[in-house]
């Protein structure tokens, strides 16, 4: 199956809706997510138990469904960036990006020469194990792999215009929980300071022609973000969707299955 050009997808004006994976790594997940109409998957290594081998298997399963995969590595270190790309990530979501210099370093790690200094290993997982002309493969990969910077610190907000101006950054993504904590207003997403910080990111994305992303826990939240100009929306995550559906189902069953009169355990009148 052809590899999706995630950089091109993010550059489009169309709505891009994805889903995050924090917990489940079944071989069928890619086909399940594809059948739901998702445009991409956000696969998390920072806050999950996924190591490099589990992530590699997950990407292989997602490829069966033709779903491009954004991987959040555990850090911004070169070895985490390069390994996530070598196992097949179509793009990376880098945590805690706080300055122009950090964004430039990330792009350098992600790009093959002459645009960067990513180490070269060809005909492995990221190439679908297919041989090819090295020069063409390196150039095509540089045109395809997407870079998403997570803006989730007060310093990142102060430097947002410079971060957004960096060539190679495709999407600015607000990490809302960490941002609120960095601002000293933990979880207060209606607080004036949080809203002010979000507006700064929104302005920078528009000014520099970058996609604008964020995660929301429900469809209404995604719709509200879209109306504010966000075009890369991540709808909840695997464990939360499953948990919520299970809670709703169990609650409905218990509400509809009233104890039978005279059943064992009933109090005698």
Class of domain 6-256: alpha beta
Q: What is the pLDDT of residue 55?
A: 97
Whether residue 46 is predicted with pLDDT greater than 80 in this model: the reply is yes
Whether residue 110 is predicted with pLDDT greater than 70 in this model: the reply is yes
Range list of β-strands (E), the chain: 16-21, 40-44, 69-72, 91-94, 146-151, 171-174, 211-216, 232-237
Q: What is the pLDDT of residue 1?
A: 55
Quick check: is 47 catalytic?
yes
Task: Count how many Cα atoms sit within 13 Å of the Cα of residue 200 in the half-sphere of its side chain.
Answer: 20
- Tens digit of pLDDT for each residue in 154-200? 999 999 999 999 999 999 999 999 999 999 999 999 999 999 999 99
Q: What is the pLDDT of residue 260?
A: 82
Q: What is the pLDDT of residue 269?
A: 45
Please state, in angstroms and as integers, the Cα–Cα distance from residue 268 to each residue in 165, 254, 263, 265, following that order: 74, 21, 10, 9
Q: What is the pLDDT of residue 265?
A: 61
Whether residue 53 is predicted with pLDDT greater than 70 in this model: the reply is yes
What sign does the CA torsion over 171, 114, 141, 105 have? Answer: negative
Instruction: Tell me the pLDDT of the chain averaged across its residues.
Output: 95
Q: How confident is the model at residue 3 (pLDDT cuts 50, 70, 90)?
A: confident
| First-last CA distance in the chain | 68
Question: Which of 209, 178, 215 shows the shortest CA–CA distance to 194?
Answer: 178
Please state, in angstroms and as integers, the Cα–Cα distance from residue 216 to each residue in 202, 231, 249, following that order: 16, 12, 22
- Tens digit of pLDDT for each residue in 54-95? 999 999 999 999 999 999 999 999 999 999 999 999 999 999
**Active-site hit among 19, 47, 79, 176:** 47
Question: Can you tell me the distance from the alpha carbon of 202 to that of 176, in angstroms, rounded to the nearest whole number?
Answer: 13
Q: Which helix (H) or strand (E) holds 178?
A: helix 176-182
Q: What is the pLDDT of residue 89?
A: 97
Residue corresponding to tokens 């957004």: 164
Q: What is the pLDDT of residue 2?
A: 60
Percentage, residues of the chain above pLDDT 90: 94
């Amino acid at each position: 199956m052809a590899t999706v050009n995630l950089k091109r997808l993010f550059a489009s004006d169309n709505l891009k809706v994805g889903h995050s994976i924090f917990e489940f790594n079944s071989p069928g997940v890619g086909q399940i997510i594809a059948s739901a109409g998702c445009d991409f998957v956000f696969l998390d290594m920072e806050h999950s138990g996924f190591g490099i081998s589990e992530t590699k298997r997950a990407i292989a399963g997602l490829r069966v469904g033709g779903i491009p995969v954004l991987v959040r590595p555990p850090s911004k270190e070169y070895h985490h960036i390069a390994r996530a790309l070598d196992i097949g990530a179509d793009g990376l979501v880098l945590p805690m990006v706080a300055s122009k210099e950090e964004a430039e370093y990330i792009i350098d790690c992600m790009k093959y020469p002459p645009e960067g200094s990513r180490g070269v290993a060809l005909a492995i997982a990221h190439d679908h194990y297919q041989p090819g002309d090295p020069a063409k493969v390196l150039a095509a990969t540089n045109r395809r792999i997407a870079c998403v910077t997570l803006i989730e610190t007060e310093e990142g907000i102060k430097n947002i215009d410079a971060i957004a101006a960096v060539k190679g950054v495709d999407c600015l993504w607000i990490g809302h929980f960490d941002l609120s904590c960095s601002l000293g207003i933990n979880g207060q997403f209606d607080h004036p300071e949080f809203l002010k910080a979000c507006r700064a990111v929104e302005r920078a994305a528009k000014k520099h022609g970058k996609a604008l992303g964020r995660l929301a826990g429900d469809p209404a939240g995604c719709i509200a973000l879209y109306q504010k100009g966000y075009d890369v929306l991540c709808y909840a995550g695997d464990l939360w969707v499953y948990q919520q559906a299970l809670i709703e189902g169990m609650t409905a069953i218990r509400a509809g299955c009233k104890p039978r009169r005279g059943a064992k355990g009933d109090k005698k009148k």
